[in-house]
Amino acid sequence: MAHDEPKAAGPSKLVIRNIGLLLSGALENPILDADTIVAENGRITAIGRAKDVDSEGATTIVDANGTTVTPGLIDSHVHPVAGEFTPRQNQIGWIDSFLHGGVTTMISAGEVHMPGRPKDVIGVKAMAIFAQRAFDNLRPGGVKVHAGAPVIEQGMVEEDFKEMASAGVRWLGEVGLGSVKDGPTARKMVAWARKYGMNSTIHTGGPSIPGSGLIDAEVVLEADTDVVGHINGGHTALPDGQIRCICEGCKRGLELVHNGNERAAIYTLRLAREMKELNRLILGTDAPAGSGVQPLGILRMISLLSSLGDVPAEQAFCFATGNTARMRALDCGIVEVGRAADFVIMDKAQHSAGKNLLDSVQLGDLPGVGMTIIDGIVRTQRSRNTPPATKIPEIVAH
């Protein structure tokens, strides 16, 4: 089990040099013409060619050894409960395992697996504030877990959202997992949440586990959350006609999850491409779930969409980085000056048939992760979970 990691370790200057391929995370320009990144005190300060950037005074130098650097992956849909423990499958250490799958940021879609979860209004608010505080204080392995995502219940009033927001709560968990399952009530509460700066999602499709319910296209469109949570079902998907209706009926984020219907994920991808709105696609795992915990879930989604959905791999990586950062208003996810210095360094897996990393992903293989970096601090080296990378980066000075 990973121990709690600091957000930062004093003044630092990280230089990553000898980058073979730099993926930006931004769909409009997914590959950058640069081989060096500089980050100071956890923020990116320069991106360019080695000779053009100031790498003097580095406290850490990473030689990427010609491998690929991408922004740290964002899982837009997790259900954390208490630190590294999930009661859903009675596992510990699951967040650190995700870090080994390249995930550096997670967004809670509700702490709904909490045994005895309160459903009265004051209990809902107390739990949201508690979860926000707890995961702000504790970063398993360094991973940024954005938690404190209340699930709306009947009887909540505008003042409740104002109160939670002023206490630091900035997410709304999946609409539909509580007692509010009708469009008009959901719409009213989602609008209150948005008014106070909270970003929202909804449970789309059939029930996940006994006790949850169906949310169809009509409710999704009326509720108008910022993200259409697992539009490919969690796990049971809506009929294709309803998925089309949601895609065409709004401009909100279209979230595809690992613990969903894979065919419906590919269907949504094709619709988004037809509509020239690939920027709306974001990825999550919806783990821990009935199907378990999937440390490589985000990488598997990238590979699935790229290989079976015919998306260039450099674009598929944007679905798990820049697209999510923009939809969720996060300061990471794009290699850009001023953003958080969160990176994954990877290479094609040993013996992949692909001729390079992007080609291997397009052939359906997973990349091998060689290093993760969060806020400019190296958090892990060769992944214990991915297939072994062909080449790995190394720390050359410290």
Write the DSSP symbol of residue 337. T
Stretch that binds Zn ion, among 170-178, 254-262, 362-370, 385-393 (CB under 5 A): 170-178
* Shortest distance, position 119 Cβ to Zn ion, whole Å: 17
How many residues of this chain interact with Zn ion, rule: CB under 5 A?
A: 3
Peptide bond into 398 cis (omega under 30): no
Distance (Å, whole) CA 275 – CA 388: 37
Closest by Cα among 113, 115, 144, 147 to 133? 147
* Shortest distance, position 105 Cβ to Zn ion, whole Å: 19
User: Which of residues 83 and 284 has its CB atom nearest to Zn ion in the complex?
Assistant: 284
Closest by Cα among 149, 142, 146, 140 to 92? 140
Distance (Å, whole) CA 122 – CA 26: 40
Amino acid identity, position 308: L
**DSSP secondary structure string for all residues of 103-135:** EEEEEES--TTSTT---SHHHHHHHHHHHHHHH
Stretch that binds Zn ion, among 137-145, 197-205, 327-335, 357-365 (CB under 5 A): 197-205
Stretch that binds Zn ion, among 10-18, 133-141, 169-177, 322-330 (CB under 5 A): 169-177
Distance (Å, whole) CA 203 – CA 241: 18
* Binding to Zn ion, residues 216-245 (CB under 5 A): 234
Q: What are the φ/ψ torsions at residue 276 (nearest 5 degrees)?
A: 55, 45
* Binding to Zn ion, residues 133-152 (CB under 5 A): none
Stretch that binds Zn ion, among 18-26, 27-35, 198-206, 300-308 (CB under 5 A): 198-206
User: Does the footprint of Zn ion cover residue 300 (CB under 5 A)?
Assistant: no
User: Which of residues 160 and 174 has its CB atom nearest to Zn ion in the complex?
Assistant: 174
Stretch that binds Zn ion, among 171-179, 319-327, 340-348, 383-391 (CB under 5 A): 171-179
User: Which of residues 203 and 339 has its CB atom nearest to Zn ion in the complex?
Assistant: 203
Q: Is the dihedral of CA 358, 359, 362, 367 positive or negative?
A: negative
Distance (Å, whole) CA 272 – CA 265: 11
* Shortest distance, position 174 Cβ to Zn ion, whole Å: 5
* Shortest distance, position 275 Cβ to Zn ion, whole Å: 24
Question: Residue 79 CB: number of other CB atoms within 10 A?
Answer: 26
User: Which of residues 75 and 174 has its CB atom nearest to Zn ion in the complex?
Assistant: 174
User: Which of residues 227 and 299 has its CB atom nearest to Zn ion in the complex?
Assistant: 227
* Shortest distance, position 335 Cβ to Zn ion, whole Å: 31
* Shortest distance, position 280 Cβ to Zn ion, whole Å: 18
- Asked if 205 and 233 touch (Cβ cutoff 8 Å), the reply is yes
User: Which of residues 234 and 370 has its CB atom nearest to Zn ion in the complex?
Assistant: 234
- Taking CB under 5 A as the criterion, the residue among 146, 187, 203, 235 binding Zn ion is 203
- Contacts of residue 213, Cβ cutoff 8 Å, sequence gap at least 6: 176, 181, 207
User: Which of residues 146 and 203 has its CB atom nearest to Zn ion in the complex?
Assistant: 203
Interface with Zn ion by CB under 5 A: which residues? 174, 203, 234
